[in-house]
Amino acid sequence: MNEMKVGIIGAGLAGMTAGSYLALHGHNVTIYEQYHMIGGVAGLAEQDGYKWEIGPLLLGGFGPRETGTIVLTELGLQDQMEFILEDRGLEFPDFKLWKPKEFQGRYWRREKLKELFPEESEGIDAYYEFYTGMIDLINMNRDLELKKGLGKQFFKLRMGLKFSKYKKFVDWNAAQLLDLFFKDEKIKALFTGILADFVTKPIEFPALGIPQINIESAFDKRILTEALGMLGEPTFHYIRGGAFKIIQEMEKLILNNGGKIKTETKAERILIEKGVAKGVQLSDGSIENMDVILSSGSIPDIFNDVIGRENIPESLKEQIDGLRYMESCFFVHLGINFNPLQSQPNQLCYYYETYDIEESIERCRRGIYHKGKDGFLIYIPSIHSPSMAPEGKYAVTIYTICPDRLKEGTWEEMKDHYADLLIKEAEKKIPGLYEGIETRVVMTPADFRKRINTKRHSFGGLAPIMGQVGPSHKTPIQNLWYIGAYSESGGGISGTMWGTRTAVKQILKEI
Ligand SMILES: Cc1cc2nc3c(=O)[nH]c(=O)nc-3n(C[C@H](O)[C@H](O)[C@H](O)COP(=O)(O)OP(=O)(O)OC[C@H]3O[C@@H](n4cnc5c(N)ncnc54)[C@H](O)[C@@H]3O)c2cc1C
């Protein structure tokens, strides 16, 4: 195969995954990153000997045969990293769902919910039957990718048969599904709470997505380690050193294979002649000619500014103009001088303070920040990665979803005040938190906008609204490909890696 000159915009996980595959295939890769550090939202914040992850927490997709593992194995990086199987806790104002001390089987949450909501017992059983069937299908779908030839056809047939039971739910939204199983708004909120993070209302989210956002093994890792025969449940892991470790290993791979990574180098413009991408114009005014260009980054910034609206067909303009995005996030990273596990039994806990998920989303969309009153999460990365804090100290992250733009005031003005309010809310869960602070780093939407070069920050890219898909990897412009969390593949650590792998495979096939 002839060596191609490949230009990649963005050294986030998408750009680094693409760069790794293409450099390994012998192509001449250059990655342009506007910020002074690589990693995008998979990067780190650092201060006074502490490190915090600026984005990802617990990662799906790194168990046996899962997508992240497949990518890292293909790149030869799997053995360079240490994966720690974990789970998380969950609290609502009236009930807590921490895993029991003694393992009580795959469905302990089902039994616990029946104790909490006895009048909902029938619905709870029906939900868990639905959940189990859907998880089988999710696993079959994952395995389908690895099957070939006639075996693949038979497997598809089996999947089709199994799916026929759930086909009627294809056009249903999550609110309809939960109304089918439950009456009590509190139990419905348990299964839709995470949608507040996506700023997507239950009526907008697909019913069939509900099991995927409520994986039982996320709340008890022993489902995978102790319940023999239950290995089909998806897994959740931390990576020692954080998700940034993937970026670091990819960086070595790219550089060892002749690739270049240019930081503080913004791609201002993709140069397009007669519908063909020819090169990139950089922030220092220079132009680099390329055979193929892959771009990550947000849809409006890349399509409207870097590619240029005049270069995209009307149908794509219509598609991107109609898209709805998630809102942003507010992070308070703390370095503290005592072990917070004294008060919080797990290194990650989601604290929901409201059952009205829809109203909370509505307010966020209107630019009103809840200041921790609707809920927050507390994450302690230095438990799985002790190097993220000085000896005897702990790195703690408190985070909430928030509007990208405030209805009143700016994030720059409100930053410290809102950080204080959020720490006070978190203090109710971890007493002594305020007193124990040694250092703090606050990241607002305004900081995220700078870090990843966007005019409007969205925590996860496109909102997972029924029927909404991001632009395809293959753009209408010849030799120009679109990758990353905003593209058709969607986001998440393993999701972004898998989507980028799909795009790269397509590129390699086409040339
Ligand atoms: C707060 C938060 C929490 C998350 N939690 C989880 C989690 O728990 N589990 C999980 O699996 N995933 C999580 N994710 C999602 C996951 O981290 C992302 O989907 C993934 O890292 C996105 O990678 P990307 O390369 O597409 O985008 P980015 O990381 O945004 O990278 C894009 C890069 O392109 C650069 N860039 C943009 N425009 C230009 C330009 N014109 N020129 C040069 N460079 C440019 C940016 O500076 C940036 O570095 C989280 C994300 C966030 C933000």
Whether the CB-CB separation of 335 and 48 falls below 8 Å is answered with yes
- CA 352 to chain centroid, in Å, comes to 19
How far does residue 128's CA lie from ligand 1's centre (Å)? 34
Other Cβ atoms within 10 Å of 330 Cβ, number: 28
Q: Is residue 358 part of a domain?
A: yes
> Which stretch of DSSP H or E encloses residue 319?
helix 314-321
**Of 178, 206, 234, which one is at a domain's C-terminal end?**
234
Same domain, 112 and 209: yes
Helices (H), 366-410: 381-384
| pLDDT tens, residue by residue, 480-506 | 999 999 999 999 999 999 999 999 999
* HSE-CB of 198 using CA atoms within 13 angstroms: 22
Mean pLDDT of the chain: 95
Same domain, 354 and 448: yes
Same domain, 218 and 104: yes
Q: Is residue 88 part of a domain?
A: no
Other Cβ atoms within 10 Å of 129 Cβ, number: 11
Nearest CA to ligand 1 atom 51: 55
pLDDT of residue 249: 98
Q: Which two tokens stand for residue 450?
A: 């700078």
Q: Is residue 173 part of a domain?
A: yes
Answer yes or no: is the C-beta of 239 below 6 A from any ligand 1 atom. no
Same domain, 130 and 219: yes
Q: For residues 466 and 171, what is the distance between their CA atoms, to the nearest angstrom?
A: 9
Q: Is residue 459 part of a domain?
A: no
Same domain, 297 and 375: no
Nearest CA to ligand 1 atom 35: 10
How far does residue 200's CA lie from ligand 1's centre (Å)? 19
How far does residue 483's CA lie from ligand 1's centre (Å)? 11
Nearest CA to ligand 1 atom 45: 10
Which is the closest atom of ligand 1 to the Cα of 14?
25
How far does residue 486's CA lie from ligand 1's centre (Å)? 9
pLDDT of residue 231: 61
Answer yes or no: is the C-beta of 306 below 6 A from any ligand 1 atom. yes
| pTM listed for this prediction | 0.95
pLDDT tens string, the chain, 511 residues long: the values are 579 999 999 999 999 999 999 999 999 999 999 999 999 999 999 999 999 999 999 999 999 888 999 999 999 999 999 999 999 999 999 999 999 999 999 999 999 999 999 999 999 999 999 999 998 898 888 778 778 888 888 888 988 998 999 999 999 999 999 999 999 999 999 999 999 999 999 999 999 999 999 999 999 999 988 766 656 788 999 999 999 999 999 999 999 999 999 999 999 999 999 999 999 999 999 999 999 999 999 999 999 999 999 999 999 999 999 999 999 999 999 999 999 999 999 999 999 999 999 999 999 999 999 999 999 999 999 999 999 999 999 999 999 999 999 999 999 999 999 999 999 999 999 999 999 999 999 999 999 999 999 999 999 999 999 999 999 999 999 999 999 999 999 999 999 999 999 999 999 999 8
**Of 234, 269, 302, which one is at a domain's C-terminal end?**
234
Whether the CB-CB separation of 352 and 90 falls below 8 Å is answered with yes
Nearest CA to ligand 1 atom 52: 55
Whether the CB-CB separation of 443 and 54 falls below 8 Å is answered with yes
Whether the CB-CB separation of 236 and 99 falls below 8 Å is answered with no
Nearest CA to ligand 1 atom 18: 492
Pocket test for ligand 1, best of 444, 493, 500, 502 (most atoms within 8 A of CB): 493
Q: How many domains does the chain have?
A: 3
Residue with structure tokens 């067909």?
313
Same domain, 202 and 102: yes
pLDDT of residue 226: 75
**Of 178, 213, 234, which one is at a domain's C-terminal end?**
234
Same domain, 226 and 246: no
How far does residue 288's CA lie from ligand 1's centre (Å)? 24
Domain of 427, in residue numbers: 328-452
Residue with structure tokens 């997507």?
200
pLDDT of residue 227: 67
pLDDT of residue 268: 98
Same domain, 249 and 313: yes
pLDDT of residue 127: 98
Q: Is residue 110 part of a domain?
A: yes
**Residue 422: which CATH number?**
3.30.519
Q: Is residue 373 part of a domain?
A: yes
Whether the CB-CB separation of 267 and 282 falls below 8 Å is answered with yes
Answer yes or no: is the C-beta of 491 below 6 A from any ligand 1 atom. yes
Q: For residues 188 and 173, what is the distance between their CA atoms, to the nearest angstrom?
A: 13
| pLDDT tens, residue by residue, 144-185 | 877 888 888 888 898 899 899 999 999 999 999 999 999 999
Q: For residues 277 and 478, what is the distance between their CA atoms, to the nearest angstrom?
A: 6
Nearest CA to ligand 1 atom 46: 452
How far does residue 33's CA lie from ligand 1's centre (Å)? 12
Residue with structure tokens 């993709």?
270
pLDDT of residue 155: 87
Amino acid (one-letter) located at 295: S
How far does residue 497's CA lie from ligand 1's centre (Å)? 11
Q: Is residue 59 part of a domain?
A: no
**Residue 292: which CATH number?**
3.50.50.60
Same domain, 33 and 106: no
Residue 123 — φ and ψ, nearest 5°? -65, -40
pLDDT of residue 233: 83
Same domain, 108 and 226: yes
Residue with structure tokens 């909404």?
468
Q: Is residue 201 part of a domain?
A: yes
How far does residue 244's CA lie from ligand 1's centre (Å)? 11
Same domain, 437 and 469: no
Answer yes or no: is the C-beta of 503 below 6 A from any ligand 1 atom. no
Residue with structure tokens 């899962």?
66
Whether the CB-CB separation of 135 and 107 falls below 8 Å is answered with no
Same domain, 342 and 266: no
